[in-house]
Amino acid sequence: MPRFNTVNAIDYILIALYFIIVIWVGFYAAGKNKGTSDFFKASGKVPWFMAGVSSWVSGFSAFMFVAAAGYTYKHGSGALVIFTSAFWAYLAGYFYFAPMWRRARIQAPLEFLTRRYSPSTTYFYTVTSIVPQVVGIAQGLYILCIFVSAALGFDRTTFGVLGFSLTGLQACMLVVGFVMILYSVVGGLWAAVLSDAIQGVIILVMSVIILPISLAYLGQGGGISAGVRRLVSELPHDYLTPSGQPVEPLFLASYLISVMLGYNVAWHFAQRYNSVPSERDAKKMAMLGAWLSVFGPLMWVLPVMCARLIFPDMAALWPNLKAPEEASFVSLAMLLLPHGMIGFVVAAILSATLGQANDAFNWLSAAVTKDVYVPIWRWLGFSETSDRHQMRTAQVTMFVIGVSGVALSFVISRLGGAFDFGLKYYSMVGPGFMMPVALGLIYRRTPWWSGIASCMAAFIAAFTLMGLNAFPDQAYARNVLSAVVASTMVFAVSAFWWRPDDPQSALAVQLDRDLRTRVPGEKGPEGHGAMKVYGVIGNLSLVIGAVLLGCWFVPATQIAPASINVVGGSLMIAVGLVLRWLARTRPA
């Protein structure tokens, strides 16, 4: 039985440091928010590199280090087929979706629905999206805190807070939820982009370290090459070659469709593409995301494949977990990383999920404010809302959504959780909402009601088949493909009712013209093509690097020597110095 390095005071200090950084980023970003354009899309001034890292980080969460790790542990190299598929989605973004979103000329994401279909379509989407999004936030928070509370060792501890008795899991959800709400409400999209950037640095450095030390440990003194040889010689052939569910035609097709939709027409991607100065920057942002989506999963999947040999019986290590293989990544970290770096890994996984939740807060608050609150305020006969009024409304909306998500996560935990539902959650709600967006962006000659009709058709088809328990062995593919087929058929048929001279088609006709017209490139930020905010991220990287270097003096073990902290600290400092150099203004 391996002896894990349980979390100690040093790890808690690093995790607390990360929380302080995230909250500080929110208040720093608040200084940049002069109105709704800043709050919702950062006034189109985000450097393409930072926006690309932000979009990549927002594409995964604790799910990647928990559920995806468990999937890899069971299926082996087939997981690479699944988890690198975002590469193809980003390529589609590079060639089509990135410039189209930039040409849509929208401020709030759901404004696209008003321009393409009708204001009633926007109201329909906003109202019907609130509950699924709150459930998604609650699910993400719950899944994250299962991992974090177990890693920190207080999943079975009880805390007394203001006269209430909270389990370790509930206390974790409360603290993480508070941080998530605070920096999102205060900072808006700038907070999301800046925090995503530091999250990206943390995750990449952690990933670069854990892959070679996993292979070296597997090599049993023979180094990384010996570990690779063991990996090739001792793992089963069908584990090393893609097989099973990952390459089943129906599953793979439906997964690729889901990824194409999620990485191109999800609202937070529309925001990111509109947050950069030009179409060219939007395309470069998509290409960066494509390559990060290849190298990132390689660094996460290969260590978990090592874990299959290092921990052949995960159930014996984690008897209290329903799916013990999902602890494979955290087991590697707690075995092979010294104190300091363990806290670093927990912070990285925290950062990924916080970034994803912030995206949900941002686009939903933008939709409620711009597309529901303002029109209703005007309809009630009040004077026109000021830009500052709208920004404050968005912040209140974010707060309400966040508190609702945290409260719902408590309900889920009392019910015993819904992790399996969480894995299938996207297949039930994602395609139905996103197909009309993708279809409407590609083909613009359908009537104003076609968006609502195709969305409803998708949900009717998917939930009917689910209610009939049709194809139970292919539930994921059933949900996705039925929604896609039904939505596409209704959308195609609706084209017969298209009338360009109909007054209700005027907005769609104008949108079609805009999508065919390039957006004039705005002046980008100064200084080596970057913004001075790179210096902020660089300084934060230097702080974390210095803390890790200080962990050289922390007691360590032979398996997890303190030198790993030095390597991690050195990498963080190197990244920080490079970012500070990028932030320098070019001499006149």
Give the pLDDT confidence score for residue 274 in this predicted structure: 82
Which pLDDT does position 224 carry in this prediction?
A: 92
State the pLDDT at residue 355: 64
Banded model confidence at residue 424, pLDDT cuts 50, 70, 90: confident
Of 241-245, 272-276, 509-513, minimum mean pLDDT range: 272-276
Contact 261, 431 (CB under 8 A): yes
| pLDDT tens digits, 177-195 | 887 777 666 655 566 667 6
Instruction: Pick the closest to residue 360 from 430, 285, 442, 437 (CA basis).
Output: 430
Whole-number Å distance between alpha carbons of 450 and 443:
11
Confidence of residue 328 (pLDDT cuts 50, 70, 90): confident
Using alpha carbons only, give the angle 327, 331, 332 rounded to the nearest 5 degrees.
125
Residue 349 falls inside a structural domain = yes
Please tell me the distance from the alpha carbon of residue 375 to that of residue 369, in angstroms, as a whole number. Answer: 9
Distance CA 496, CA 547 (A): 64
Query: What would the two tokens of residue 257 be?
Result: 């469709």
Give yes or no for a contact between 227 and 214, defined as CB atoms under 8 angstroms apart. Answer: yes
Average pLDDT over residues 290-295: 90
Of the ranges 215-224, 285-294, 388-397, 481-490, the best mean pLDDT one: 481-490
Q: How far is CA 303 from the centre of its chain?
A: 21
Decide if pLDDT at 273 tops 70: yes
Strand partners, 166: 159
Q: Please report, for the domain that includes residue 202, its CATH number.
A: 1.20.1730.10
Is 480 within a domain? Answer: no
CA angle 293, 294, 295 (to 5 degrees): 100
CA dihedral (429, 430, 433, 437) in degrees, to 10, reads -170
Report pLDDT for 468: 93
- Alpha-carbon distances of 131 from 374, 429, 435, 459, 546, rounded to whole Å: 21, 11, 19, 15, 43
**Percent of the chain's residues with pLDDT above 70:** 83
Domain-located, residue 509 = no
**In the predicted model, is pLDDT for residue 419 greater than 50?**
no
Planar angle of CA 97, 101, 103, nearest 5 degrees: 115
Query: How many Å is the Cα radius of gyration of the chain?
Result: 24
- Res 423: pLDDT: 56
Q: What is the average pLDDT across 60-87?
A: 83
Number of domains in the chain: 1
pLDDT over 80 (residue 290) = yes
d(CA 174, CA 169) in angstroms, rounded, equals 9
* Average pLDDT rounded to a whole number, residues 148-160: 70
Tell how far CA 126 is from the center of its chain: 20
pTM, 2 dp: 0.80
For 395, residues 6+ apart whose C-beta sits below 8 A from its C-beta are 39, 185, 186, 188, 365
Residue 428 lies in a domain: no
pLDDT tens digits along 228-270: 999 999 999 889 989 888 889 999 999 999 999 989 998 878 8
pLDDT at 9: 82
Residue 35 has pLDDT above 60, yes or no: no
> Cα separation of 370 and 107, whole Å?
9
Q: Can you point out the beta strands (E) in 207-277?
A: none
Reduced to 3 states, what is the DSSP secondary structure of residue 165? strand
Mean pLDDT, the chain, integer: 82
Cα three-residue angle 192-195-197, rounded to 5 degrees: 105
- Residue 588: the pLDDT is 39
Exposure pattern of 405-414 as b/e (b: 16+ CB <10 Å)? bbebbbebbe
195-198 contacts at long range (C-beta below 8 A, 24 or more positions apart):
195/22, 195/25, 195/26, 195/351, 195/354, 195/355, 195/358, 196/53, 196/54, 196/57, 196/58, 196/355, 196/358, 197/50, 197/53, 197/54, 197/537, 198/21, 198/25, 198/351, 198/537, 198/540, 198/541
d(CA 446, CA 498): 5
Residue 537 has what pLDDT?
Answer: 83
Residue range(s) defining the domain that contains residue 293: 9-418+515-524
Instruction: Assess if residue 61 is contained within a domain.
Output: yes
Rounded to a whole number of angstroms, the distance between the first and last alpha carbons of the chain is 63
Angle 182-186-189 from CA coordinates, rounded to 5°: 110
78, pLDDT greater than 70: yes
Name which of 149, 153, 150, 148 is nearest 8 in CA terms. 153
Alpha helices for 368-386 (secondary structure H): 374-379
Report whether 56 contacts 200 (CB < 8 A). Answer: yes
Residue at 38 is within a domain? yes
> Which helix or strand (DSSP H or E) is residue 212 part of?
helix 168-218
Asked whether the predicted pLDDT for residue 171 surpasses 90, the reply is: no
DSSP string, 89-108: HHHHIIIIIHHHHHHT--SS
Least reliable range by pLDDT among 54-58, 129-133, 577-581: 54-58
Round to whole Å and give the CA distance between 109 and 40. Answer: 9
Cβ(342)–Cβ(334) under 8 Å? yes
Domain assignment present for 431 = no
Going 347 to 176 to 311 to 240, the CA torsion angle's sign is negative
Q: In the predicted model, is pLDDT for residue 524 greater than 80?
A: no
Residue type, 502: D
- Please report whether residue 374 resides in a domain: yes
Closest CA to 100 of 266, 243, 279: 279
- Count of residues making up the chain: 588
Question: How far is 42 from 38, CA to CA, in rounded Å?
Answer: 4
CA trace torsion 368, 369, 374, 377 (10° rounding): 80
Mean pLDDT to the nearest integer, 103-120: 87
Task: Tell me the angle at which helices 119-152 and 387-414 cross, rounded to the nearest 10 degrees.
Answer: 50
Instruction: Give residue 117's pLDDT.
Output: 96
The arithmetic mean of pLDDT across residues 397-410, rounded, is 82
Q: At what angle do helices 563-583 and 533-550 cross, to 10 degrees?
A: 160
- The better pLDDT of the pair 422, 451 is held by 451
Q: How confident is the model at residue 418 (pLDDT cuts 50, 70, 90)?
A: very low
